[in-house]
């Protein structure tokens, strides 16, 4: 079943379209990665899906209904925001107590274990916590709430490598024991790539790519060898990125059947592209084409003048 589906979802602010015609379908009980550069629209999309901001256009279905002012949907949803604000007088323990009352599936024993594990000073005022400790508060709530729909927006800012690994292990273990729909937004792509079953890459408010991670292995590959051989091999095909060093070249492209054999016969090497590298290629290529479009636009403006 689909947990989230959107059609042409758009959020325009006076200066900018934060989200521009986004159509995605996220299956339930999977871990989805929401990837994109800063300002790509990740947070806006999650705010729309949790009813925190209103869409300018388009439609969405979340857990079978609209999330806007819909208690039935929102009580099954937890959204751990990167920039969550708390009242000045609150301690972590106060926030956790409120969370315990708000989420029907809350597991207090698990929450207590997590507080200890992340060494969270629960009695200290929230405003005195470090960035990493603040992230830990979000992680405890996000995991212990066991909400059927869980959003994590950059959940580990300020956490060191050990605590980040702890979070990935906890997420995986608790997800395995209590399957639910998880949407994880991040730009630490390589660290989470193996945890994700499905990814959505946003760029400048639009969906650049949506796919199961299994399929992404076939989305791009890098060929390297003599520049003349590389060019002959890729003649007439779309190339995501090409680099040369003297007489050598590497190029990243979308492979098709028979490439492996052809590359071998041409004495070329093929190497896989990681999700992180694919992300960089796609967003860089997209920025370049957007810049080119703007240039053309300017040129035509000039022509009119």
Partner 1 sequence: MLDESKPLFQAVAEQIEDGILDGTYAEDDPVPSTNQLAAFLRINPATAGKGLGLLVDAEVLIKRRGIGMFVAPGAREALRQRRKFAFQDQYIAPLLREAAQLGITPEELAGMITKEVAR
CA distances from 76 to 26, 27, 63, 79, 282 (A): 16, 16, 9, 10, 34
Q: Residue 169, interface with partner 1 (CB under 8 A)?
A: yes
State the nearest-atom distance from the C-beta of 87 to partner 1, in Å: 37
Residues 174, 114 contacting (CB under 8 angstroms): no
Report the distance separating Cα 282 and Cα 286, nearest Å.
6
Q: Residue 164, interface with partner 1 (CB under 8 A)?
A: no
Answer left, alpha or beta for residue 171, where phi above 0 means left and psi between -120 and 50 means alpha: alpha
Q: Is 104 in a helix, a strand, or coil?
A: coil
CA torsion sign for 18, 23, 27, 32 is negative
Q: Residue 176, interface with partner 1 (CB under 8 A)?
A: yes
- For partner 1, which residue of 16, 98, 173, 232 counts as binding (CB under 8 A)? 173
CA 296 to centroid of chain Cα atoms: 31
Q: Residue 78, interface with partner 1 (CB under 8 A)?
A: no
Q: Residue 4, interface with partner 1 (CB under 8 A)?
A: no
Q: Residue 197, interface with partner 1 (CB under 8 A)?
A: yes
Q: Residue 271, interface with partner 1 (CB under 8 A)?
A: yes
Q: Residue 168, interface with partner 1 (CB under 8 A)?
A: yes
State the nearest-atom distance from the C-beta of 214 to partner 1, in Å: 6
Query: Which residue's CB is nearer to partner 1, number 43 or number 181?
Result: 181
Residues 99, 108 contacting (CB under 8 angstroms): no
Q: Which residues ranging from 35 to 54 are in contact with partner 1 (CB under 8 A)?
A: none
Q: Residue 86, interface with partner 1 (CB under 8 A)?
A: no
Query: Which residue's CB is nearer to partner 1, number 136 or number 166?
Result: 166
Q: Residue 194, interface with partner 1 (CB under 8 A)?
A: yes
Number of residues that make up the chain = 305
Query: Which residue's CB is nearer to partner 1, number 41 or number 155?
Result: 155
Select from 99-107, 116-124, 142-150, 165-173 the region that touches partner 1 (CB under 8 A): 165-173
Query: Which residue's CB is nearer to partner 1, number 116 or number 218?
Result: 218
Query: Which residue's CB is nearer to partner 1, number 22 or number 196?
Result: 196
Q: Which residues ranging from 211 to 270 are in contact with partner 1 (CB under 8 A)?
A: 213-214, 217-218, 264, 267
Largest Cα separation within the chain, whole Å, is 70
**Phi, psi (deg, nearest 5) at residue 51:** 70, 20
Q: Residue 150, interface with partner 1 (CB under 8 A)?
A: no
- For partner 1, which residue of 87, 104, 158, 272 counts as binding (CB under 8 A)? 272
By DSSP bridging, strand 2-12 and strand 57-62 are: antiparallel
Query: Which residue's CB is nearer to partner 1, number 208 or number 270?
Result: 270
Work out the burial of residue 149: count CB atoms within 10 Å of its CB; fewer than 13 is exposed, 13-18 middle, 19 or more buried: buried
HEC-encoded secondary structure of 245-287: ECCEEEEEECCCCCHHHHHHHCCCEEEECCHHHHHHHHHHHHH
Residues that bind partner 1 (CB under 8 A): 30-31, 168-169, 172-173, 175-176, 194-197, 213-214, 217-218, 264, 267, 271-272, 274
């Amino acid at each position: 079943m689909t947990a989230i589906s959107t059609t042409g979802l758009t959020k325009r602010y006076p200066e900018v379209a934060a989200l521009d015609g986004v159509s995605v379908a996220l299956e339930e009980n999977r871990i989805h990665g929401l990837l994109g550069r800063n300002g790509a629209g990740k947070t806006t999309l999650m705010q729309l899906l949790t009813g925190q901001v209103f869409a300018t256009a388009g439609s969405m279905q979340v857990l079978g209904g609209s999330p806007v002012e819909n208690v039935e949907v929102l009580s099954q949803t937890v959204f751990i925001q990167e920039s969550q604000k708390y009242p000045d007088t609150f301690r972590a323990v106060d926030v956790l107590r409120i969370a315990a009352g708000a989420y029907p599936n809350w597991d207090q024993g698990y929450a207590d274990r997590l507080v200890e594990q992340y060494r969270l000073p629960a009695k200290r005022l929230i405003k005195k916590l470090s960035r990493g400790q603040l992230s830990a508060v979000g992680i405890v709530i996000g995991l212990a709430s066991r909400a059927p729909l869980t959003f994590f927006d950059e959940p580990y800012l300020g956490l060191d490598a050990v605590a980040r690994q702890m979070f990935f292990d906890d997420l995986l273990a608790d997800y395995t024991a209590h399957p639910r729909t998880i949407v994880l937004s991040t730009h630490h792509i390589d660290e989470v790539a193996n945890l994700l079953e499905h990814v959505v890459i946003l760029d400048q408010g639009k969906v650049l790519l949506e796919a199961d991670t299994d399929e992404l292995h076939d989305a791009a590959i890098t060929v390297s060898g003599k520049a003349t051989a590389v060019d002959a091999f890729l003649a007439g095909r779309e190339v995501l990125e090409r680099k040369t060093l003297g007489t050598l070249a590497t190029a990243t492209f979308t492979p098709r059947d028979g490439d492996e054999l052809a590359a071998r016969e041409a004495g070329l090497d093929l190497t896989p592209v990681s999700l992180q590298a694919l992300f960089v290629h796609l967003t860089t290529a997209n920025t370049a084409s957007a810049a080119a479009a703007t240039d053309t636009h300017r040129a035509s403006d000039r022509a009119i003048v």
